[in-house]
Chains A and B, each alone.
Chain A
Amino acid sequence: MGEEEKKANTKLDELLNLLGLTSNRDIELEDVELDISEIILQPSVLSSAALKGIAPPKKKAAAPPTVKPTTILEAPFTPFVQEYPGKIREVTLGATKSKGGSRGKPVTIGGSTTPAFYLFEQVPSNPPVISVDVFDMEVTLPKEIRTHVEDVWEDTAAWAKRAVDKWGAKVLTLHLLSTDPLIKDTSPAKATKTVEEVLQAVDVPLIIGGCGDPKKDAKVFTKVAEMAQGERVLLSSVTLDMEEAGVLEGVTKAAAKYGHLVLGFTALDLNRAKELNRKIADYLPEGDILMDLTTAALGYGLEYSFTIHERARMAALMGDTELQHPVLSGTTNAWAAREAWMKLGPEWEPRRLRGPLWETVTALSLLLAGVDLFMMMHPDAIRTMKKVLQNLMTKGEVKPEKIANWVNAKIQRG
């Protein structure tokens, strides 16, 4: 130990010299300015042996002071900010007439240069966007959602119009669920007709959802891509299963040929996400790719989704080009959680609030993890998200006096 200690102390001396730990002046570390009088060295920065000499003597030298302060000691705050080598690509959904489509207002997402809503580093260039789910057939939905749409089951175009006119959807997701060979096995031609009707009924950008069967989806997407030439619809989604089934190339080529975007779906696995993105990029420009990393419902694995999104965003910002695609969340999955819809007893009522709050919390958690595009369904959840987004996008002006006396404030009961 003696030899080691000596070595450590030499190392320590070097370090202290390096840091100029003799005077009380400012030094520059990485991109950060730190006041040396308050620097603490992370134990992990140094070997344990080097630690032996460090913190305690310094601490003891500084504190405890013999005289207690009588006025506030100024210690201004400097936020730790950093520059990231990477950036999320900007992607535009939908195209106007002049760009070869017929959409009224294309929507641009992505472009982030910092983790989500680090406004102290950079105000995001594009706000995250909400797309409203519409299906091409009657589907099993919790009562709280069903009541808003059950009169338009049979008329997909009317359903789409409602989402746009009544709920203010800026993007629509049209799920062609009926194409599932195990459900109605609707033909690609008929599904394409439905897409055409919706394109005519509304002028917002469209996301086209498949049924999950790789081969059938490939057929449907290819047909839809051709019909909707130039509209920049987002095909949701392509998977590694499609690659296995030998149909990925056809779909992505069709998307490229007719000017559309592609969403790559993987199940909570960044390596697979990267692999899929690489394969899509063989045929489609990188700027036309979005990722779905899987959204699990609150209480049903949301934390896995939250963490994979935080990891993906951080890796992308740190320079991993294969993850620098905007991210989509199928937030309506929140309703898969039984707590969103199940009768649990009177103390957990009313469900008309519990359900949409479930979707809201699922959405907000992923919003803070970096999601750029949300597929949502309940009008109250959508309304809340829009409001929060509006507030989050601007450096708010707050009046400290508004909450300064909250401790003494009496509750006004409404």
Chain B
Amino acid sequence: MTEREVKMGVKQLSPIDVYMLLPRTNCKECGEANCMAFAAKLVNREVSLEQCPPLLTKENEKAYKKLQEILAPIIKEITIGRGEHAVKIGGKLVLYRHEFTYHNPAPIAFDVTDEMPLHARFPEEEAIIDRVKKVEDFLYNYIGRDLKLDMIAVRSTSNDPTTFKSAVEEVTKVNNLPLILCAFDPSVMEAGLIAASGRKPLIYAATKDNWKEMADLALMYGCPLAIFAPNDLDLLRSLSKTIIEYGVEDLVLDPGTFPDKGISTTINNFTMVRRTACKAGDKLLGFPIIGTPITTWFGEKDSDEMLAWKEAYLASMLISRYADILIMRSLDGWVQLPTVIWRFNIYTDPRKPVSVDAQLYTFGKPDETSPVMLTTNYALTYFTVESDLKSFGGDYYLIVVDSEGISVESAVAGRYLTAETIAEAVKSSGVADKVKHKYLIIPGMAARLSGETEEELKNVGLPDWRVIVGPRDSSGIAKLLKEKWPPKEGEEE
């Protein structure tokens, strides 16, 4: 099999294939110039079929259904929750990120148990309300985006229907997040489903022993159903077949997350399931996979800190290897920060360029006294600086040098950012005509270029320009400006 064949899933679906099934009236109701443009966007998953009103009419019903089929992702997209609080999982079109792009960032659910009190009765006691609040309040602003946590998983440790029911009731009262209900006893599960009626939780889980009752509950309450077959892919696939034939359409697969020595088995099972679905078109495995790093807490005994550490890196590995949804336990910031950032990163579009345009950018309303700063055109570098400058407020010029899309530190080391390229960029930016001072603030990571840069600036016809070495990280710019701007003659360095 060549790489071209491997890519066929998405790549070989051409806009023409889609166009032929569209109304082809070029009515522009979708907002595109014509049906061909709309088809191209459909193939790229930038628009949805529902944005074509004529397609939704009775006479186009057949074409609509066909389009739904040919555009359907290999991994089924499943919705948990309802309305504005719903979350979509799965919907993957490819095995490898570089083949297209991954869709629906894996939501992370955090557990509460039905034996936890609603409110803590003594300090340090874990309580439902505190854990739910931590999930809701989690927020990290990363290059201008708000990264958040997503769901609550209610586990029945009591195994008692009444206890579970009241816990689920409490949880639904205190938040609107999508839910996972976790119990293996069908009567316990039903009690929970009654309490969460209308919330469309994920039912976790059907096993070889309870599948029939769980499938009945999934049908009765209209909820997606997870299948749990720890390290038994034959059973996982058999249960998938059985439950589909039973009439349940929305499944989630759990081949088991084994911590510690089980990492190898876990990663291999996840990979085999996803790969067989994507490359062999195995429909029975074409469902989202759920990973449960929380099992770390029930594996080898260790300190809370070590268990949280293990849970964190296991979660990141499962995000890399095909988990579409996760259940975790640790809500510590240091655990979740790398997890949500890696999740955000791996779900971005790999076709997006690594660099931004090298040019002069302005922030606020800079005038002839505003500071002139400089950075490289690596996208992440630029967005980090941009986000900092915006959050400080104020007026600045920012010259972005073409470093071939490399960050400052690497660009200096690799000679992509040199005194010459800096001087050239300053000159061509025309900023010298916009300000009456002659100061250039360069990144701290480029400190060693400062002397040379002053020389080079002379060579490009900008004599008397002085270089101020800025902080190594742009978060320090505000402090630098407070202390050193406007510069007083003779003490700029």
Contacts and interface: CB of A to CB of B under 8 A. Distances in A.
A307 B320 CA distance: 11
Contact of A396 (B66, B212, B258, B452): B258
Interface of B (DSSP majority class)? helix
Contacts of B65: 56
B321 A368 contact: yes
Contacts of B271: 117-118, 120
Interface string B268-290: 10011001100111111100000
Contact of B342 (A183, A314, A354, A361): A361
B429 interface: no
Given A301-B380, A388-B263, A357 B338 contact: yes
Nearest to A267: B406
Contacts of B485: none
A267 B260 contact: no
Nearest to A42: B281
A406 B298 contact: yes
A77 B312 contact: no
Contacts of A70: 212
The size class of the interface chain A forms with chain B is 35 or more
Given A79-B276, A395-B264, A402-B258, A361 B20 contact: no
Given A357-B312, A364-B317, A368-B317, A40 B283 contact: yes
Given A73-B241, A406-B298, A303 B345 contact: yes
B354 A306 contact: no
Nearest to A117: B267
A48 B263 contact: no
B25 interface: no
B364 interface: no
Given A213-B415, A303-B348, A406-B298, A82 B1 contact: yes
B321 A408 contact: no
B327 to A, nearest CB: 9
A411 interface: yes
Nearest to B264: A396
Contacts of A406: 292, 294-295, 298
Interface stretch (B51-59, B81-89, B301-309): B301-309
Contacts of B183: 407-408
Contact of A408 (B3, B66, B157, B234): B157
Interface in B282-341: 282-285, 292, 294-295, 297-299, 301-305, 307, 309, 312-313, 316-317, 320-321, 329, 333-335, 337-338, 341
B415 A212 contact: yes
A384 B314 CA distance: 11
Contacts of B397: none
B176 interface: no
B70 A48 contact: yes
B230 A267 contact: no
A354 B308 CA distance: 11
B9 interface: yes
16 contacts: A32-B280, A38-B241, A44-B10, A44-B11, A73-B242, A294-B410, A299-B345, A303-B346, A333-B410, A357-B313, A364-B316, A369-B320, A384-B309, A397-B261, A409-B297, A414-B301
Given A44-B12, A78-B276, A398-B256, 16 more contacts: A38-B241, A39-B281, A56-B65, A72-B211, A117-B268, A182-B452, A267-B416, A296-B380, A299-B380, A344-B333, A348-B333, A354-B337, A365-B342, A400-B256, A408-B184, A410-B157
